[in-house]
Amino acid sequence: MLGRSLELGRALHTFLRKAPPLSVSADDRKTTENGKHTAIAEEQKYVSGVYDALDAERELVERRLAESLRMADGEPQAQAEREAATATYSDRLAQLKSVEQGLCFGRLDFTDERRARDDTDSPLYIGRLGLFDDTDDYRPLLIDWRAPVARPFYLATAASPDGVRRRRHLRTLSRRVVDVDDEILDIGSGGDSDHLGLAGEAALLSALERRRTGEMSDIVATIQAEQDRIIRADMGGVLVVQGGPGTGKTAVALHRAAYLLYTYRRQLTTRGVLVVGPNSTFLRYIGQVLPSLGETGVLLATVGELFPGLEAVGTDTPEAAEVKGRIVMTEVLEQAVRDRQTVPDDVLRIDAEDNDVLELDRRTCERARAKARATLKPHNVARRVFVDTLLDALAEQAVAKLESSVLDDVPDIPLTEDETDDGVLLDERDYATIRRELTEDRAVQAALHRLWPKLTPQELLADLLTDADRLASATEGHLSAAETDTLLRVPGSWWTPADVPLLDELAELLGEDDTEARLRRERREREERAYAEGVLHVLEQDDEILDEDQIRVRDVLDAEMIAERQEARSNLTAAQRAAQDRTWTFGHVIVDEAQELSAMDWRTLMRRCPSRSMTLVGDVSQTGSRAGTSAWADVLEPYVGQRWRLRELTVNYRTPSEIMDLAAHVLAEIDPELRAPRSVRDTGDVPWQRHLDRDGLAGELRSMVDGELAEVEGGTVAVVVPEDMATHELEAVVRFDSSGEADERVSLLPVDRAKGLEFDAVIVVAPDEIITESPRGLNDLYVALTRATKRLGVVHTGPVPDALAATTSGAQNAR
C-alpha cells in the first residue's frame, strides 16, 4: 500500500513539476479538505438518485421481458413481434446490468454566460449511459458519455473552456462516492474554495496506477482529448491511428466501436461492427471492455476466425505464414483452380450404364472449357456451362449411335408418303430423354467430375498443399522452389490462421452454384417488401386524417427501410448472423494491431467491408510478423489509393518513463528517425538487468518472479521469452507452486503472444535471442520491453545487445 502511495506521489510530483507552480498554504489545504467532504456528501445524494433511476428502469424492463416471454404463441406475425420484443428487452437489460460499476463518473458546471444561453441552471452529470427522471418531465439525470453535450468533459481546457466552469471527476466504489477531483477551467468565474486539487490528472493517474487483473478495463471516465478526437471522428472512410506502445490505441479502438454504435445505431445494428484482433489471448484480454460500456452487439474475431465452420488451430512456420500472406498467392490460387479444369490427353472413354461406350475427345473438351471460362464466372458456377456443353456433345453422340444401330439392325422399310429420308429417327423429346439419362449416368458424372470437379475451398486447398506436383504447377513463375517447399505439408494437417485468407480467396474463385438458394432469397425479399408496402399503406390511411402540413409517414420511412427492420428483427444480432455467414459485410470494421496483417489478410477484411468504413490502429515500429507491414500506405493503396486519414497518439499511458528510456534505445536502433511516445508517469523504479547461465535460468526464474510479485503487491507478472523457450516445462517452473497449483497472476509468453497485453511487472529473458530469431527481432524486443505498467527486469543468457549495453552498468544486478 505504502509502495503504491509513494508511486502515486512521485507521479503527481512529476506533474506538479510540469504544471505551473501552485502555492497551497495549510489553511487552504484545510478548506480544501472540508470542501471535499461536503462535495462528496452532496454528490452521494445525487449518485444515489441516479442508481435509484437505474433500479427502476431495470425493474420495468424485467417486467416487460417477463410479459413478452409469457405471451402465448399466436399468428406468425405476433410471434415475430414477441421475439423482437424479447430480444430488445434482453439487450436493454444486459446493458442496464453492465453499467453498475462506475455508472456516474463526471459532472460539468457551466459559466453564467453559458447557463444563460442554454437557459439552464443544472450541472450535467456524465455516465456510462443516459437516464431520465420520469417524475420530472424526463429531465436528463445522467448523460451518456457518447452524447455530443458530454464532449466538453473530455475536450474542455483552461485555454478553451467551451463554457465549462468546472469539470469534476467522481470516483465510486460500488454505489458509494469515495472521492471527487475538480478542475477549474474558467479561473475568473469560480471561488478558490471550489478548487479541490489536481483533478483530471489525479483521476487519470489513479486509473493508471491500479493493479492489472489480466483483463483490460474501459477508460470512459478519463479519455484524453487526443483520444476523444479519434473516438468521435466521422465514421466514413479509412481512419488509421498510429501510436507507440501504451498510447491507448486498443482502448481508443474499443471506445470508438461503442461511440459509433451509439451515434449511427440504425446503420450499424443491421450490419454490425467487426473488431479484429491478432490472437485469441488478446481477444480474451479485451473481451470485457465493450460489455462494460453496455455494448454486446460487436463481433470480436481474429482473421483466422472469419471462415464460418472452420477452426484454424494449426500453426505454420514463420516462413510458410509469410509466403501464404503474399499477394502473389492470389495468382497461385487462380492457377490452382485452372489446373483443376482439365481436358484428356487424347480421348476419354466413358462406359455409360446402357453399355454404350461414349467418347470425349480433347478438342471437344477444350471447346467446352474455353466456353465455360469465357463466362468469367467462378469455377463452380462456370462448371454448369462446361457440363452442359459436354452433355450436349454426349447426347448427340448417343443419339447418332442409337440411330445408326437401329438402322443397321432393321431391314429397309419403305417410307410412307409423308416421310422423308433425312436419316433422323428420334425427335427432340427422345433427345431430351437421352440427355437426362446421361445427366444421371454415374459413369458420365464421374468423367465430368474428373475433367471439371465441383470443389469446396477446403478440398482444393488441402489437395494443393499436400501434393508436390499440384503445388509446383500452381506456384510456377510465382514462387521459388524453396518457397514452394515451405508450403508443402502432410495430409490431415490442421488448418492454420494463414490458411483462412487463402480459403476465403478460393471461396470467391470457386463460387457456389446457388441458383436455387438465390431464387428462394429473391422470393423472400419480394414478400418482405410487399409486407412493408402493406404497413405503409395502413399508416398512410391514418396519415390522411392528419393536417396537410404534418410530416407524412413516407417522408421518414420507405418500404426498403421497413423490410430491413423486418429482417433485423430476427432473434440473432447482426454480430451473431455475421459470424455464421462468410459473405456478411459489416457496417464498420475496426482492426487492432493492424500492422501485423498480411496482404492476403487485408483482402479478406476488405471483402467484409465494401463501404471501406474502417478504423485501423497499430504501430509500424512494433510489427513482428514477417508478413506484416512497415508502411500504412503500402497496405491501403490497392484499396483506397490516397484516400485515408492518419491520426497519431503521442502519450504513453502504460509504461513509466524509466522503462521507456530503455526501450527508446531499441527504437533508435530500429530507425533513428522514430520517436518513442512520452510517458505520462515516472515511478523511480529503474529497470534491472542480470546475467545468468542458460543452465541456471529455470532455477532462478521462479524466485525472480516471486520477488516481482511482492514488489507489485499481488499484481500480474509476465516472463517474456524467445519462441523456443516458451515450453510447458519452463511454464511449469515459472507458474506452478510446489503443490502443483498454477498462479493465475503469472504468465510465460513468447513475444507474439504478449503483443497488445500488459502486466504490472515484466521479465524479458534472452533479448539477444529475441533479436536474432526473426528478421523483425528488434521490433519484437521493443514490444517485449514495453509491456510493463510498473517494473521491468531483463535477464541476459548471452551477449548483451548493443541497444541495452549502454544502460546496463548502473542497473546491473538490481535484483
Ligand X SMILES: Nc1ncnc2c1ncn2[C@@H]1O[C@H](COP(=O)(O)OP(=O)(O)OP(=O)(O)O)[C@@H](O)[C@H]1O
Whole-angstrom distance, CA of residue 411 vs CA of residue 722: 89
Residue closer to ligand X (CB basis): 109 or 201: 201
Asked if residue 426 binds ligand X (CB under 6 A), the reply is no
Asked if residue 758 binds ligand X (CB under 6 A), the reply is yes
Residue closer to ligand X (CB basis): 186 or 619: 619
C-alpha cell at 531: 409486407
Q: Which helix (H) or strand (E) holds 772?
A: helix 767-772
Asked if residue 106 binds ligand X (CB under 6 A), the reply is no
Asked if residue 222 binds ligand X (CB under 6 A), the reply is yes
Q: Are 770 and 722 in contact (CB under 8 A)?
A: yes
Q: Of 146, 255, 379, 654, which one interacts with ligand X (CB under 6 A)?
A: 654
Q: Is 243 annotated as a binding residue?
A: yes
Print the binding letters for residues 737-756 with ligand X: x by CB under 6 A, - otherwise: -------------------x
Number of other residues whose CB lies within 10 A of the CB of residue 146: 23
Asked if residue 208 binds ligand X (CB under 6 A), the reply is yes
Whole-angstrom distance, CA of residue 457 vs CA of residue 583: 14
Window 619 to 648, contacts with ligand X (CB under 6 A): 619, 622
Which residues have CB under 8 Å from 736's CB, separation 6+? 742, 743
Asked if residue 670 binds ligand X (CB under 6 A), the reply is no
From 722, 729, 735, select the one nearest 798 (Cα to Cα): 722
Least CB distance from residue 285 to ligand X, whole Å?
Answer: 9
Residue closer to ligand X (CB basis): 247 or 573: 247
379, amino acid identity: H
Window 761 to 790, contacts with ligand X (CB under 6 A): 786
Q: Are 792 and 749 in contact (CB under 8 A)?
A: no
Which residues have CB under 8 Å from 512's CB, separation 6+? 378, 380, 381
Q: Is 49 annotated as a binding residue?
A: no
Q: Of 202, 219, 385, 701, which one interacts with ligand X (CB under 6 A)?
A: 219
Whole-angstrom distance, CA of residue 133 vs CA of residue 151: 22
Least CB distance from residue 706 to ligand X, whole Å?
Answer: 24
Asked if residue 248 binds ligand X (CB under 6 A), the reply is yes
Q: Of 35, 161, 245, 277, which one interacts with ligand X (CB under 6 A)?
A: 245
Q: Of 35, 106, 161, 243, which one interacts with ligand X (CB under 6 A)?
A: 243
Helix and strand totals (H; E) in the chain: 34, 21
Asked if residue 207 binds ligand X (CB under 6 A), the reply is yes
Print the binding letters for residues 572-611 with ligand X: x by CB under 6 A, - otherwise: ----------------------------------------
Q: Are 568 and 574 in contact (CB under 8 A)?
A: yes
DSSP 3-state of 618: strand
Residue closer to ligand X (CB basis): 316 or 658: 658
Residue closer to ligand X (CB basis): 87 or 751: 751
Residue closer to ligand X (CB basis): 151 or 470: 151
Residue closer to ligand X (CB basis): 601 or 758: 758
Q: What angle do CA 419, 425, 427 make, to 5 degrees?
A: 100
Least CB distance from residue 752 to ligand X, whole Å?
Answer: 12
Q: Of 247, 292, 364, 604, which one interacts with ligand X (CB under 6 A)?
A: 247
Residue closer to ligand X (CB basis): 207 or 381: 207
| 126 Rama class: left (phi>0) / alpha (psi -120 to 50) / beta | beta
Window 785 to 814, contacts with ligand X (CB under 6 A): 786
Asked if residue 246 binds ligand X (CB under 6 A), the reply is yes
Handedness of CA 215, 219, 225, 230 (dihedral sign): positive
Residue closer to ligand X (CB basis): 247 or 292: 247
Least CB distance from residue 218 to ligand X, whole Å?
Answer: 8
Least CB distance from residue 276 to ligand X, whole Å?
Answer: 14
Least CB distance from residue 98 to ligand X, whole Å?
Answer: 18
Least CB distance from residue 776 to ligand X, whole Å?
Answer: 15
Least CB distance from residue 36 to ligand X, whole Å?
Answer: 22
Asked if residue 169 binds ligand X (CB under 6 A), the reply is no
Residue closer to ligand X (CB basis): 171 or 654: 654
Distances, alpha carbon 737 to alpha carbons 33, 499, 741, in Å: 46, 39, 6
Number of other residues whose CB lies within 10 A of the CB of residue 176: 11
Residue closer to ligand X (CB basis): 108 or 231: 231
Asked if residue 715 binds ligand X (CB under 6 A), the reply is no
Structure letter (DSSP) for residue 801: P
Least CB distance from residue 650 to ligand X, whole Å?
Answer: 11
Whole-angstrom distance, CA of residue 81 vs CA of residue 38: 50
Least CB distance from residue 644 to ligand X, whole Å?
Answer: 19
Number of other residues whose CB lies within 10 A of the CB of residue 765: 25
Q: Is 496 annotated as a binding residue?
A: no
28, amino acid identity: D
Least CB distance from residue 282 to ligand X, whole Å?
Answer: 9
Strand partners, 691: 796
Residue closer to ligand X (CB basis): 99 or 223: 223
Please choose, out of 25-33, 149-157, 218-226, 393-401, the segment that lies near ligand X by the rule CB under 6 A. Answer: 218-226
Q: Are 397 and 361 in contact (CB under 8 A)?
A: no
- The three-state DSSP-derived secondary structure of 415-437 is CCCCCCCCCCCCCHHHHHHHHHH
Q: Are 724 and 696 in contact (CB under 8 A)?
A: no
Asked if residue 653 binds ligand X (CB under 6 A), the reply is yes
Whole-angstrom distance, CA of residue 415 vs CA of residue 211: 103
610, amino acid identity: P
Least CB distance from residue 186 to ligand X, whole Å?
Answer: 23
Least CB distance from residue 45 to ligand X, whole Å?
Answer: 27
Asked if residue 249 binds ligand X (CB under 6 A), the reply is yes
Task: Kindly determine how many residues on this chain lie close enough to bind ligand X according to the rule CB under 6 A.
Answer: 24
Q: Of 11, 126, 251, 487, which one interacts with ligand X (CB under 6 A)?
A: 251
Asked if residue 716 binds ligand X (CB under 6 A), the reply is no
Q: Is 250 annotated as a binding residue?
A: yes
Least CB distance from residue 615 to ligand X, whole Å?
Answer: 13
Structure letter (DSSP) for residue 715: -
Whole-angstrom distance, CA of residue 508 vs CA of residue 497: 18
In whole angstroms, what separates CA 528 from the centre of its chain?
Answer: 31
From 275, 246, 290, 280, select the one nearest 758 (Cα to Cα): 246
Asked if residue 676 binds ligand X (CB under 6 A), the reply is no
Please choose, out of 135-143, 242-250, 327-335, 487-495, the segment that lies near ligand X by the rule CB under 6 A. Answer: 242-250
Asked if residue 242 binds ligand X (CB under 6 A), the reply is no
Q: Is 152 annotated as a binding residue?
A: no
In whole angstroms, what separates CA 127 from the centre of its chain?
Answer: 26
Strand partners, 311: none
Q: Is 244 annotated as a binding residue?
A: yes
26-70 and 76-98 helices cross at what angle (nearest 10)?
160
Number of other residues whose CB lies within 10 A of the CB of residue 540: 12
Asked if residue 504 binds ligand X (CB under 6 A), the reply is no
Residue closer to ligand X (CB basis): 289 or 464: 289
Residue 406 has phi, psi (to 5 degrees) of -65, -45
Cα pseudo-dihedral 403, 409, 411, 417, rounded to 10: -20
Number of other residues whose CB lies within 10 A of the CB of residue 740: 7
200-209 and 2-18 helices cross at what angle (nearest 10)?
140
Asked if residue 204 binds ligand X (CB under 6 A), the reply is yes
Residue closer to ligand X (CB basis): 200 or 294: 200
Which residues are annotated binding-site positions? 243-250
Residues lying near ligand X in the complex (CB under 6 A): 204, 207-208, 217, 219, 222-224, 227, 243, 245-251, 619, 622, 653-654, 756, 758, 786
Which residues are annotated binding-site positions for ATP? 243-250
